[in-house]
């Protein structure tokens, strides 16, 4: 086995592990948003059907649900802006709750800490994704189930091109010249 093949395997393993960690952080962020929406919907249903007031139902709750769903989709699609807005929206809504009802400290503060952590993971994941994807030699490897089955072929081709590009630079050739030569 050549040294280049061994380096390629180690790079692939490292990229796969780091991609999985970053994806997990993003999944935690948008997953927490979906759970939050689910809890809100259950609260609305209990409040309207059960005859007791679990949650005040007004039109702004539905806007809240739509906004969180949209931002969760944005985090799913790896948007840094959506992740930051989701986190800030959550924190600001909890701070408004604290200011509106000072007695709710015992219920708002633990929620702020726990859910804030989950949303912050989404922010960290999206920023890590964009930081790493710009680095040369890093190849994003999507987790199983999110690709069309062409990932391994694409991955092996990309790693080969990256390693050949380094060899081409040593010989004075550019990446474009190297890829043009492979196509011919």
Put simply, whether the predicted model's pTM sits higher than 0.75 gets the answer: no
pLDDT digits (tens, 9 = 90+) for 65-120: 999 999 999 999 999 999 999 999 999 998 888 888 766 677 788 888 999 999 99
pLDDT tens across 13-70, in order?
A: 777 888 899 999 999 999 999 999 999 888 888 777 766 655 667 788 899 999 999 9
Looking up tokens 């490292």 gives 14
What is the full DSSP assignment across 115-161?
Answer: HHHHHHHHHHHHHHHHHHHTSTT----PPTTSS-S-HHHHHHHHHHH
Which band of pLDDT confidence, cut at 50, 70 and 90, is reported for residue 137? confident
Among candidate residues 179, 170, 83, the one with its CA nearest the CA of residue 127: 83
* Cβ–Cβ under 8 Å, residues 75 and 34: no
Q: Which of 90, 87, 108, 89 is nearest to 99 (CA)?
A: 108
Place of tokens 């859910």: 115
């Amino acid at each position: 086995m050549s040294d280049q093949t061994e380096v390629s395997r180690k790079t692939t393993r490292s990229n796969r592990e780091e991609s999985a960690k970053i994806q997990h952080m993003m999944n935690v962020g948008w997953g927490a948003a979906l759970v939050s929406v689910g809890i809100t919907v259950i609260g609305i249903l209990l409040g309207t059907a059960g005859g007791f007031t679990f949650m005040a139902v007004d039109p702004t709750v539905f806007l809240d649900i739509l906004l969180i769903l949209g931002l969760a989709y944005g985090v799913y699609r790896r948007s840094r802006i959506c992740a930051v807005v989701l986190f800030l929206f959550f924190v600001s809504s909890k701070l408004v709750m604290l200011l509106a009802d000072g007695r709710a400290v015992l219920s708002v503060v633990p929620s702020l800490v726990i859910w804030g952590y989950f949303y912050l993971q989404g922010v960290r994941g999206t920023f890590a994704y964009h930081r790493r994807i710009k680095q040369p030699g890093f190849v994003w490897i999507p987790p199983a189930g999110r690709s069309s089955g062409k990932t391994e072929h694409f991955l092996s081709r990309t790693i080969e091109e990256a390693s050949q590009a380094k060899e081409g630079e040593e010989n004075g050739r550019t990446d474009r010249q190297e890829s043009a030569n492979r196509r011919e």
